[in-house]
Structure 1
Amino acid sequence: MQNDADKTFGWSFLGFWVGLVIGLISLWLSVFYQRQPRLSVAILSRTPVLSLQDLQNLKDNLEILYNKTNILESKQNLYVITLRFANIGRANIVKGDFDAAAPLGIQLVDVKNSRSPAEISIIQKPEVLDASSNYFSKLVVKIESNATVVIEPIILDAQQFFTIKLVALMPESFQPTVRVLGKIAGIREIELVDELSSLSANFFWQRWLLMGGIIIAAVSLGYLLISSLISLL
């Protein structure tokens, strides 16, 4: 009787670990192998042309004119902002996925007053700085309004990216950030991150921590399987 009880316990314990490992593998596959697009917009830089110290030191000795207005006297500054759009998912984004009524774009806003972009002006045609493919040389980025640009539909395959540069004029007290606009089929929310590397690092560590857990569970299962089989013989 005792031997039968030991065998029953051994098989039950073994079944528990088999179920646990299968569950972890299923979770890993569902999280990391979903064939869905995933679009991120990373703020790579937002650099003022003149620092606050420069603005103070040069205000009386230098003129920077825009539309015949001295931006130093008007207490304004120029910012160079670079943004990287990347499909970090496992499915491609095609032109038909874009919603014509809600085009993909970005709006520059002040960190402290995100509802009031009226004082910000993008003064130069957006430029493609870098891309994962020459295909993006055809990318069309239009200035929609003072602080808003829109991107015409384009194919963005999985793990592909492009980087654009914006030059904007705004009050010297502003600190610009970005509001992402638009809707793409299959993407619940377009992700905005301060740096693409931070998103990649988080994704990297999440993946390897989960894989490490699965490996540990598999090794434990193997040990328990061998131990259980030996005890049942």
Structure 2
Amino acid sequence: MAEEGGAPVVVPPAAVPDLPNGPVSKGRTPRGARFAGAAEAPEGRSAEPSDVVARRETADTIATLMRLRAEGRTGEAHALLTEVAHWPADRFPLLAAELQHAGLRADWATLLWEAASLPADRLVAAADALVAAGRSADGEQVLRQGVARPAGEIGAAVLGLVAEGRRREVSALLDAYVRVRTPEEAARSAEPGPQTLVPLLLAAARGVSDERHWDLVHALRVAGFSA
């Protein structure tokens, strides 16, 4: 994900062989023989508990990642982390614990960076899962990195969450946004829908401090939005 302000651009690596088939993002179908028939459990047999599946797939993934690192296949290791970033949000605390236990702290930082590019609702879900597991610093970090995307993109994402009634996600996203970005940048994010976004931005800024609130009021007025 490119970050405003000149963050380095990661060149997508080549195709990755021999990677484990972990869970993937919503709307995609798991690949590989191990998932054949997974959509329906055989008659008379119950599906494996989700926590058992999560632990097995996490262990498989970390073993593969360690092998790739040992062989110097850094591009393929990064591609694997990019895929893992699309796993369900509730897997993130387990991934954090297991990666750090394996001595792969740098890979956990990379995984958080990749997760910051997730759609807004999934970004907030990942942050919430980390905070709920006692990893508040990681949850705050992924949100801070996630709101580094362009101002107009933030505004459009918030409008989408509002349309879906996702007030919790709206609040979390904008709280991080007005803390990290300048008032001028926050004001630009109101452009996709000022009538909806201006009150939400102001409420988030007020929750940070009176000073941030009045700075945003001024920035909105300079940008041509009534506040």
The structure richer in helix per residue is 2
TM-score (ref. length: structure 2): 0.24
**Larger RCO (CA under 8 A, 6+ residues apart):** 1
TM-score (ref. length: structure 1): 0.23
The structure richer in strand per residue is 1
Q: Which has the larger radius of gyration?
A: 1
